[in-house]
Amino acid sequence: MHNLPVLRIGEGHDTHRTIGGRPLVLGGVVIDSPFGLDGHSDADVLLHAIIDALLGATGRGDIGEWFPNTSADWKDADSGVLLQHVWNEALNDGWQLQNLDCTISAERPRLGTWKPAIRERVAELLGVTADQVNVKAKSGEAVGPVGRGEAITADAVVLLARSAKTD
Ligand SMILES: [Zn+2]
């Protein structure tokens, strides 16, 4: 019999309110913006969605269980560190990333020119090549919390694979 790899898909979604006086960090990249996102950590909405997608694919709950926003440990935390913590656990269990696809929804700033940098940084954080990561950006079409500029949201889907156990 062939040992077909075990495949697991995971999805993640996150929302943060826009707020003045904080840097805007998306996918580990500091974006030129007159406002940032409110949150306990650095409020990197994209990395939070990716963390939840990875936790979903590996059956490990959600980001709130891993990094409670009541904990002083994660105040202003670099979400890249949180992502790598979760990803290292998955790697230790033999998981490999096949691909990651994600969408950032923001009315402002326009993210088109930032997509390549975000893609490169997310790939670097996960130790994969940029062709395994795709970053999409959408506006909010001027409606709803995103369209009014009150929030930025992100969605992510990952596909993980590992060898089937032979013993
Ligand atoms: Zn978040």
Q: What pLDDT was estimated at residue 1?
A: 57
**Distance from the CA of 68 to the center of ligand 1, in angstroms?**
11
Contacts of 110 (CB under 8 A, 6+ apart): 137, 139
Q: What pLDDT was estimated at residue 4?
A: 84
**Distance from the CA of 5 to the center of ligand 1, in angstroms?**
31
**Distance from the CA of 163 to the center of ligand 1, in angstroms?**
32
**Distance from the CA of 143 to the center of ligand 1, in angstroms?**
22
**Distance from the CA of 126 to the center of ligand 1, in angstroms?**
18
Closest CA to 8 of 71, 43, 77, 56: 56
**Distance from the CA of 18 to the center of ligand 1, in angstroms?**
12
| Residue 120 burial (CB count, 10 A) | 17
Q: What pLDDT was estimated at residue 74?
A: 81
Q: How is residue 94 written in tokens?
A: 């033999």
pLDDT mean by block of 10 residues, the chain; 167 residues? 86 98 97 95 96 98 92 87 97 98 97 98 98 97 96 98 80
pTM reported for the whole predicted model = 0.96
**Distance from the CA of 30 to the center of ligand 1, in angstroms?**
16
- Domains of the chain (ranges; CATH) run 6-162 (3.30.1330.50)
**CA 16, CA 48: separation in Å to the nearest integer?**
10
**Distance from the CA of 70 to the center of ligand 1, in angstroms?**
13
- DSSP-derived letter for residue 27 is T
**Distance from the CA of 167 to the center of ligand 1, in angstroms?**
39
Q: DSSP 3-state helix, strand, coil percentages of the chain (rounded to 5)?
A: 35, 30, 35
**Distance from the CA of 37 to the center of ligand 1, in angstroms?**
9
φ, ψ dihedrals at 40, nearest 5°: -75, -45
**Distance from the CA of 88 to the center of ligand 1, in angstroms?**
20
